[in-house]
A and B are shown apart, each in its own frame.
Chain A
Amino acid sequence: GQQVMQIPQYQHVQEGEDFTTYCNSSTTLSNIQWYKQRPGGHPVFLIQLVKSGEVKKQKRLTFQFGEAKKNSSLHITATQTTDVGTYFCAGRNYGQNFVFGPGTRLSVLP
């Protein structure tokens, strides 16, 4: 079945440094979503990408969907302590349910 992987599993950064997490699918995706989960909280939707090569920005966050629609990335510029949490990608293969990656846990040292 479809598999979604994320790297790295953990990332520790100093406040102000940049952060990137990568998401890779074993199959071509129709769309991909990104979620953020704060420690002890629930996943919160960030964005959805549907077009090949699509790039979307939300303030300091930049999301990218690969040309082949099998990978995606989330880049955070100048991290802040409020960025702490686990970032999940979820990929959907046409007509099927979303499959979540294992997540990247980000910690930001002040």
Chain B
Amino acid sequence: QVQLVQSGAEVKKPGASVKVSCKASGYTFTGYYLHWVRQAPGQGLEWMGCINPNTGTTTYAQKFQGSVTLTSATSISTAYMELSRLRSDDTAVYYCARVAVRGVIGDAFDIWGQGTTVTVSS
């Protein structure tokens, strides 16, 4: 079945970097944009950016430009989100999500990963 499986929880110190993976299965990885959304404890959903796994083209929310790097490895159907210069307010659950329509950057998110908890603490 179509699914996205994310890497496990991380604990990092302020100033460090974290890289979260999102492995796709059950569909053609290169055909669909993958997005990243985060949710701080007790807060709402926040869109971070996306990648076209076929071309490697990325789009970032203004807030995350310069601190987030999205990449993908097509040979293993895996997308990555790297967040650098971590601060305590980066503590959140990070989700990857697939856009439902092939080749379209912005439409419904039909498949979500299970989420990866990133805790930033000294």
Q: Indicate, yes or no, whether A interacts with B.
A: no
Give chain B's interface residues, CB within 8 Å of chain A: none
Which A residues fall within an 8 A CB radius of B? none
